[in-house]
Amino acid sequence: MERKTRVRFAPSPTGPLHMGGVRTALYNYLFAKQRGGDFILRIEDTDSHRFVPGAEQYIIEALGWCGIRPDEGVDENGKVVSVPSEKHPHAPYRQSERKSIYRAYAEQLVRDGYAYYAFDSAESLAALRVEMEAKGETFIYNYSVRGKLRNSLTLDAAQVERLLAGTNDWTVRFKMPADRIVQMDDMIRGHVEVNTRTLDDKVLWKRADELPTYHLANIVDDHLMEITEVIRGEEWLPSLPLHYLLYEAFGWQDTMPRFAHLSLLLKPDGKGKLSKRDGDKLGFPVFPLRWTSPDGEVSRGYREDGYFPEAFVNLLAMLGWNPGDERELFTLDELVEAFSIERIVKSGARFNADKAKWYNKEYLRRKSPAELAEAFVPVLEEKGVSVLDGEGCAASEVKDFAGRRFSRSYVEKVVALIQDRATFVRDFWDIASYLFVSPAEYVEKDAAKFWKPENTALTFELAAHISTYDKPLEKAGLEAEIENYIRSREWPMGKVMNCLRLALVGASSGLGIADIVCLIGLEEFGRRVERARNTLGA
């Protein structure tokens, strides 16, 4: 019988999710949605020592920002579900709240001979490890040493009972077979085999906190939650044999999920995988959202750096996957359509900040001016420019340069003309501040180049002519008028235009003269020319 596709993203709330984690979640999501399946969020908080407050909420918020919404595990308020319901039948989805489930499974394995109780203390193991390493031997806790240690395999039943009841630092360990080749299949890497001889008797359950370790909790929950595919990071590949053996020991082979191990995201320059530490150091965020750690340390995020979630998702998807053709721009829905595990790349991907910016630029230029204006408003207000909304201003556009008040329709017009020139919304101010504030000073170098008596005389004459323009202010018409005026007099076009631009912008860069005049209007135009004349001289 064909099972419904169910995948899960199972982060550990030990800190903010970094972009590699988001990519893993994204690939899981895409896989599930493509097959009409479920994407489940499960919180793996079985390490009580590494719990970080706020991390869980961060993970949910980050996924939400990306548009990745779990079908199960998180309720409509963005909280991890603890109580089972029709929509969330497998609750709780936080492993710490599933504590009671795991012990029985651990005991089942002991009873069936696949695991045993181990009574060695952490200190005695550490000592043994040091001792063996001193002799040049590698310490592996497996068949080779378990016979010499204190456990339910070497101690008699009565003693085991006594230790089980009377002490609380024992563990349940998996009894790794001595010499067996485990044959595995990975959806990305193909056939993989490992001899159990090199593997160790992993701890499955700890009496001290009555919590399972990752391996047990993971297998039990994936089974209980009817997970069909496990798509996770490459760091888990070495423990895949153990996981196979656990499914076998439980007798769950027939419903064992298929596995896909994703390569890691590497640092752009140096060596090693992208880690949480090297965010600011490398000049780009490693986190989707800004994160303030409990001790007050702040790490930047893509959201706060001005990236659109669509761009972030897109660039992440293309880091280790490609559609097989030359398309590069995909919305989340398009990714759902195009995604395929077969086209995931095996090797690790190095993140490239320039490409990330390019993606944002592409999305920015595709956005509507209305949406961009909306995002630009806070920036304007920060700069002391107020944006007027509402009924009154629709009819008559407000552009009050001295009072720094502009109607939203004006902001939209500005944005429409500059959106091709920006990578982020925050670039707008640098590109277009002169469309809101008269230039207070003039770039010295540009002034020296263009503000010369032979140019200014002509410029003032042109400005005077423009001021008398009585047709509706509209780019094409005004542009033709200006060009015509200059050409018919055989004036040097570049010199005059740049001289005038200097007066309007304060520099010899920026939009076309006609565009600027149409935006700021004749009145402001006249003021700027006057001001330049007074400041720079005629």
Partner RNA sequence: GGCGGGUUCGUAUAACGGUUAGUACGCGAGAUUUUCAUUCUCGAAACAGGAGUUCGAUUCUCCUACCCGCUACCA
Residues 411, 414, 419, 423, Cα dihedral to 10°: -70
Which residue, 387 or 499, has its beta carbon nearer to RNA? 499
Tally of CB atoms within 10 A around 208 = 12
Candidates 6, 7, 9, 10; binder of RNA (CB under 7 A) is 10
The pattern of x and - marking residues 325 through 354 that bind RNA according to CB under 7 A reads -x-x--------------x-xxxxxxxx-x
**HEC string for 229-264:** EEEEEHHHHHHHHHHHHHHHHHCCHHHCCEEEEECC
Which 354-413 residues touch RNA, going by CB under 7 A? 354-355, 357-358
Which residue, 236 or 485, has its beta carbon nearer to RNA? 236
445 has catalytic annotation = no
Decide: 385 and 436 in contact? Cβ < 8 Å.
yes
Antiparallel, parallel or unpaired: β 349-350 and 386-388:
unpaired
Residues 314, 320, 323, 325, Cα dihedral to 10°: 110
Which residue, 189 or 533, has its beta carbon nearer to RNA? 189
Supply 205's token pair: 């359950």
Which residue, 82 or 121, has its beta carbon nearer to RNA? 121
Which 440-479 residues touch RNA, going by CB under 7 A? 479
Handedness of CA 50, 53, 58, 61 (dihedral sign): positive
Least distance between RNA and beta carbon 526 (Å):
18
* 296 binds RNA per the rule CB under 7 A: no
Residue span binding RNA (CB under 7 A) among the ranges 54-62, 265-273, 403-411, 433-441? 265-273
Alpha-helical regions (H) of 299-420: 309-317, 332-338, 353-366, 369-382, 391-395, 408-418
Which 44-73 residues touch RNA, going by CB under 7 A? 44, 46-47, 49-50
Which 481-500 residues touch RNA, going by CB under 7 A? 483, 493-494, 497-498
* 236 binds RNA per the rule CB under 7 A: yes
Residues sharing a CB contact under 8 Å with residue 169, sequence separation 6 or more, in sequence order: 121, 122, 207, 208
Candidates 268, 477, 521, 526; binder of RNA (CB under 7 A) is 268
Which residue, 264 or 529, has its beta carbon nearer to RNA? 264
Which residue, 439 or 510, has its beta carbon nearer to RNA? 510
CA Rg, the chain, in Å? 33
Gap between the Cα atoms of 27 and 309, Å rounded: 16
Residue span binding RNA (CB under 7 A) among the ranges 136-144, 303-311, 432-440, 527-535? 136-144
Candidates 112, 122, 281, 474; binder of RNA (CB under 7 A) is 122
Candidates 71, 97, 226, 234; binder of RNA (CB under 7 A) is 234
- Give the containing element (helix H, strand E) for 57: helix 55-66
Which residue, 71 or 479, has its beta carbon nearer to RNA? 479
Which residue, 68 or 317, has its beta carbon nearer to RNA? 317
* 103 binds RNA per the rule CB under 7 A: no
Least distance between RNA and beta carbon 393 (Å):
28
Least distance between RNA and beta carbon 376 (Å):
17
Which 163-192 residues touch RNA, going by CB under 7 A? 169-171, 189-190, 192
Candidates 12, 24, 28, 299; binder of RNA (CB under 7 A) is 12
Residue whose entry in the numeric block shows the structure tokens 């230790």? 163
Which 505-524 residues touch RNA, going by CB under 7 A? 508-515
Candidates 214, 244, 339, 406; binder of RNA (CB under 7 A) is 214
Residue whose entry in the numeric block shows the structure tokens 């490409």? 355
Tally of CB atoms within 10 A around 463 = 23
Alpha-helical regions (H) of 153-205: 157-166
Long-range contacts of 268-274 (CB under 8 A, 24+ apart): 268/350, 268/351, 268/352, 268/353, 273/20, 273/348, 274/18, 274/19, 274/20, 274/351
Which residue, 256 or 482, has its beta carbon nearer to RNA? 482
Least distance between RNA and beta carbon 221 (Å):
11
Residue span binding RNA (CB under 7 A) among the ranges 6-14, 287-295, 368-376, 451-459? 6-14
Opening angle at CA 330, ends 421 and 287, nearest 5: 75
* 271 binds RNA per the rule CB under 7 A: yes
Handedness of CA 344, 345, 346, 349 (dihedral sign): negative
Least distance between RNA and beta carbon 129 (Å):
7
Gap between the Cα atoms of 298 and 323, Å rounded: 36
**Which of 276, 367, 449, 495 is the catalytic position?**
276
- The size of the interface with RNA (CB under 7 A), counted in residues, is 84
* 534 binds RNA per the rule CB under 7 A: no
Candidates 89, 238, 251, 283; binder of RNA (CB under 7 A) is 238
Alpha-helical regions (H) of 78-208: 99-111, 122-134, 143-146, 157-166
- Give the containing element (helix H, strand E) for 467: helix 453-467
Which 302-321 residues touch RNA, going by CB under 7 A? 318-321
Active site residues: 276
